[in-house]
Amino acid sequence: MINEKGFVAYHALGNVADDMMMDALLPEDGSSASTVHSAKRRTVYEFFSRGWGVAIICAVVAVAVMGGIIWAGNRPGGVTPPVGMTVSPETEHMIFPTETQEGESGTELSDTQDPERNAVVLHSLQRKYVPPKFLCYSTTLTEGEDGLSHGETADGLGFEGVMQQGETPALPTVTWAKDAELADFLDVAEGYIVKEFMVYDMDMQLVESGSSVMGYDSEESVKRFVIKKLPVGTWYMSLRVEHDGGEMHQCVYDYAFIAKVAETVTDTCTVRTDQDRYAWGVEDKYYHITLTSTVKGAILDIYGGSWELVNLDTGKHINTLCLTASAPTEGTFMVMPSSQEALAYYTLTWDFDWETTPPGRYRLVYTSVTMEANSFIQWQDGHPYYDFVIYDPKTGEPAPTAPAEGQIFVSVGGEKILPCRWAYGGEKWSSDGFRINWDGFVVPEAEFPLISTRIPCVNYAPDLTIHSSKDLTVTVYDENWNLCGTLRKDQLHELTFFGKNAYYLSFEAEERYENKKDYCQLFVYVQMK
């Protein structure tokens, strides 16, 4: 529940005097010079305010005055240094998008009252200008049996949309839902205008751009613009969006996402282990699992639902990941629905504490007070849950023992799932391909020998060998999941060109199965040594 009382109390505390407030800042936060002074001044004041200190101070002052007179008299221009000396605050380097990149077009402003004044700020405050450095979220565009194109976008910055075929049969449109609650979440409200869009191919060559946009269609409750229909394939898209939502929100945002145009509706679920959060044997002993799922459905009432983690071995309810009830007992939780129409996309992210979430069999259960609204969702085996197993890194068994350096195994989907094996430790990595299909069937490995990845040694010049029976797309992200670029599988030795310390590599391949086009995605974390 929202702690409204707490928020009110929080605001009531917000008017404390500056000196006290800044005095409570810890040093690493870069307290300002004035803070240091104010603290010092108060200390002196307090010292004076204590009666017995006055006598001592008077005596000291008397001696100092005498000494000062003598010293000043012997010193040319005897002036003491100013009391208010400047103390340079230590500030840590902060990445802040104060600079725009080359090639950026001008920003139109909507503030007619004082455009010049805001122009300066908006230029400075412009958020990350993405192309050709794209964010990592992906978009799937599919053509369903109804002949329409469906899709979704998610850029992780509070902007998402739905792609579907519009009134012009040959042209898909990008449509944003107007729903108030969704808009509230997405920070996309009336007043947003898409100023420009660009479409790139995988080689970052611009294939389509335009600025002919669109307006707000009050009758259809959508905003839309038209782009040329894209062929099947993977495309990078970026949008520049201007928001005229008031004085505080007159900003221009740049969004980018990957659009995958497929021929059929594809349901996929990818579970990836976020390796940089692994910390075996160190202080926190946390590891981190992100479950990303795309489910075919209509309205996903994610707002009213909750996720609950149950240890199937003990029956213990580990925590309640609930959007509207109490906070989870550990970790963080994030849900990102992209839309209330067509495909729904969400990401669950939370931290498992080894001590409270030991190896074992777990079930992530979704419940909702309005389950009928979720009946569209094609759950595994028709049940609204995901099963997964956390294996012990030492024994490889789903039984709890103390964590240790070494391998970690994670599988998803219970017995039906192909083994997903992650090995790490800095020197060698290996991973077997896996594939998850939420349509309720899993293709045996023999029929889908998708990826066999072996990275025997990762050094300054990584020697990566990829074994695959299929054509692969290797997408490279940095540790923050910012897209660095793409490589062919025979180009992985060029990984160092991106200049990062660690990467996530996404190996993707497509496969046709029972007239459906499926793709597998495997994430491997590579640490440069």
Partner 1 sequence: MTDQEIISLYFARDEQAIAETSRVYGAMCMHTAMRVLNSRPDAEECVSDTYLKAWNSIPPEKPRALGAFLCRITRNLAITRYRALHRYKRNRDLELSLSELAECIPAVEEDNTLRYLIDSFLRGLEDTDRRLFLGRYFHSYTVRRMAKAYGMTENAVSLRLYKTREKLRVYLEKEGYSV
Which residues are bridge partners to 287 per DSSP?
A: 352
**Which residue's CB is nearer to partner 1, number 5 or number 83?**
5
**Which residue's CB is nearer to partner 1, number 68 or number 97?**
97
Cβ of residue 275: shortest distance to partner 1, in angstroms? 19
Q: What angle do CA 261, 252, 102 make, to 5 degrees?
A: 80
**Which residue's CB is nearer to partner 1, number 87 or number 214?**
87
**Which residue's CB is nearer to partner 1, number 8 or number 369?**
8
Report which DSSP code applies to 193: E
SS3 321: strand
Give the whole-angstrom CA distance, residue 437 versus residue 380.
8
Cβ of residue 385: shortest distance to partner 1, in angstroms? 21
Cβ of residue 521: shortest distance to partner 1, in angstroms? 23
Cβ of residue 9: shortest distance to partner 1, in angstroms? 4
**Which residue's CB is nearer to partner 1, number 91 or number 205?**
91
**Which residue's CB is nearer to partner 1, number 214 or number 322?**
322
**Which residue's CB is nearer to partner 1, number 14 or number 315?**
14
**Which residue's CB is nearer to partner 1, number 35 or number 238?**
35
In angstroms, how far is the first alpha carbon of the chain from the final one? 45
Q: What angle do CA 29, 331, 365 make, to 5 degrees?
A: 155
Task: Give residue 117's Cα distance to chain centre.
Answer: 32
Take residue 224 and report the two structure tokens written for it: 């839309």
Q: Which residues of 320-336 are buried (b: 16+ CB within 10 A; e: fewer)?
A: bbbeeeeebebbebebb
**Which residue's CB is nearer to partner 1, number 183 or number 365?**
183
Nearest to 484 by CA among 471, 468, 496, 472: 496
Strand locations in 451-497, DSSP E?
A: 451-457, 463-468, 473-478, 483-487
Cβ of residue 134: shortest distance to partner 1, in angstroms? 15
Cβ of residue 35: shortest distance to partner 1, in angstroms? 6
Residue 135's contacts (CB-CB under 8 Å, 6 or more residues apart) are 128, 155, 156, 157, 255, 256, 257, 481, 482, 483
Cβ of residue 343: shortest distance to partner 1, in angstroms? 19
Nearest to 431 by CA among 465, 454, 457: 454
Cβ of residue 105: shortest distance to partner 1, in angstroms? 19
Strand locations in 67-148, DSSP E?
A: 138-143
Are 385 and 311 in contact, with CB atoms under 8 Å apart?
no
**Which residue's CB is nearer to partner 1, number 324 or number 469?**
324
**Which residue's CB is nearer to partner 1, number 29 or number 220?**
29
Cβ of residue 518: shortest distance to partner 1, in angstroms? 30
Q: What is the 3-state secondary structure (H, E, C) of 15-31?
A: HCCHHHHHHCCCHHHCC
Are 97 and 128 in contact, with CB atoms under 8 Å apart?
yes
Report which DSSP code applies to 156: S
Take residue 124 and report the two structure tokens written for it: 């400075």
Instruction: Please report, as ranges, the residues that interact with partner 1 according to CB under 8 A.
Output: 2-35, 38, 86, 89, 91-92, 94, 96-98, 117, 120-121, 123-125, 127, 156-157, 184-185, 247-248, 251, 303, 323-324, 327-328, 330-336
Cβ of residue 13: shortest distance to partner 1, in angstroms? 6
Cβ of residue 431: shortest distance to partner 1, in angstroms? 28
**Which residue's CB is nearer to partner 1, number 98 or number 112?**
98
Residue 529: is it exposed, middle or buried by C-beta count within 10 angstroms (0-12/13-18/19+)?
exposed
Are 256 and 481 in contact, with CB atoms under 8 Å apart?
no
SS3 377: coil
Cβ of residue 30: shortest distance to partner 1, in angstroms? 4
Token look-up 């067509």 returns 342
| 243 dihedral zone (left: phi>0; alpha: psi -120 to 50; beta) | beta
SS3 12: helix
Give the whole-angstrom CA distance, residue 488 versus residue 457.
19
Other C-beta atoms lying within 10 Å of the C-beta of residue 98 = 9
Cβ of residue 21: shortest distance to partner 1, in angstroms? 6
